Chains A and B, each alone.
Chain A
């Protein structure tokens, strides 16, 4: 079945450091891939997405490239800020829903808590 694996947190970095949060997936079809961000006390917000292999999603200085050969969608940012502190979720949406898993082909990773220190 489908799955998303992302690095466990918390990840603690200093301001202006380079960020990588790893995400790998397994899927039966050709999924779309997403990164969501959750700030304290809020719901999840879409950060970026990619719909096919070699697509690069980008937003607010964050980037992730859809790598089919390595089944990965790692999140990167060149210089993090304190305001980037949040929980980040990698997710996939499979057009061929995973039978038995519910959620209409949607699978989320467990989230990575990112803490940026000034």
Chain B
């Protein structure tokens, strides 16, 4: 399809394990964002990529979180040594230029047991 694709849709992992979440943005969208949404809460900004510029990592909650974007397209969010408080829905979004609307994926629901 033409939308933002995220995988997996659900991930259950044990505390202390590493996880990788994938986002495939809409073709041609140069800006890509990761957000975290805890149960019943709003959106927490994590990281932002714009083209080939250095990413804005100001929202990452700890050094266990990292993200990369290869070839200006697919992005991977990695959480190392997962903790129970990392349980949330991780949303990816992309847009074509500043002030245009964001297009969101359906998210990855991460559960850390």
Contact = CB atoms under 8 A, between A and B. Distances in A.
Contacts, number: 65
B4 interface: yes
Contacts of B56: 102-104
A35 B61 CA distance: 27
Interface of A: 31-32, 34, 36, 41-46, 49, 51, 89, 93, 95, 100-106, 108-111, 113
B41 interface: yes
A34 B101 contact: yes
Contact of A103 (B4, B40, B45, B91): B45
A105 B98 contact: yes
Contact of B99 (A89, A93, A102, A110): A93
Interface in B57-113: 58-59, 91, 93, 98-107
Nearest to A108: B43
Contacts of A106: 33, 45, 102
B106 A43 contact: yes
29 contacts: A34-B101, A42-B107, A43-B91, A44-B43, A44-B91, A44-B104, A45-B104, A46-B103, A49-B101, A51-B99, A89-B42, A89-B43, A93-B99, A95-B98, A100-B58, A101-B58, A102-B45, A102-B56, A102-B58, A103-B33, A103-B56, A104-B48, A104-B56, A105-B98, A106-B45, A110-B41, A110-B42, A111-B42, A111-B43
